[in-house]
Chains A and B, each alone.
Chain A
């Protein structure tokens, strides 16, 4: 739970809310074709599931927000570029929406999807 004060009281932002923003902005990032279960046992079958915390891990302390993304990338894209774009996208949207610093966005590429065979 992130907290911030305003003159009338406190603002609490849940991890789930942050995860939702992160998930939306990740899925709008080019090259990301899905979010994967954080641990593989949950299985890749749940790719694209609507649950907002699926494939997203949010932690928070006094230093800022830390986000882990577990993504599936389109096969045939340059993974390095896709990964850095998604990290920037997520950081930008979360910071803009929440107004607290995002200290780290770690991107875990959990798999590739082959939708185009060349």
Chain B
């Protein structure tokens, strides 16, 4: 726990330094309009990073989240086009619900048939993305076709912040509570850290895994609506490649790809870092074509730094079992008394 806190603090400092540097270079970054964009982008990426974290912590991964976003978003958009008077919350519910089902399909294959998550979600990524084309006939759903309420909701404000931002805050809070203070949440970490032991101790692995991918799908569905409503358009390529950004945010935030380790705060910070970075690019006159390359480079740097932290101190890879006598015997970590 202590290690994670230290890492989070360092990351927060880095973000602060980054923001300071950007604002110094281009003060417009600190303008209200830009901050709004940062918060909104950040909200979506944070929600999706938290979703991805659930999968990563259990030693899995969900590569289909971008496709689920697109499919759920398109479903909500089509619904709104057919019935523009429908309230936004209903559209949101439909999107989240459909996302839940899509995610549960992943979960059923992964938990029920013991299939590797990377293969399953790689496959469903294609299938779901293709289904967007099928249900939309390849056509776009444009702003003027969408219901006014549908489009307005994420931008409406409460206490100065948009609903989009509030939803992000809500998701962060719920995730934090459930991962730290509910049994199901803690068991996810056990599952990812030592699957065989978790099974032996009676943790219902299949149920947890099904739950994880359902949550991932539901959050992706929710973000599908938010994305479509925010950008006022739904098409086949919605959120194409977004899953990579969610993984990047998690890795930067200290979530381990090997499972069992990672925190809500870290994901939040990781997402913030990426969003700040990407929003800075146009402001400091860097072409948006750099976004992908920077994304990739950041992942590489982050995972290399993570690995340095995870590495054991002894050359043979043993967890500090031996050490050469240097006077007094080494005091073991965590012991209160000598």
A and B co-occur in one complex: no
Interface residues of A, Cβ cutoff 8 Å to B: none
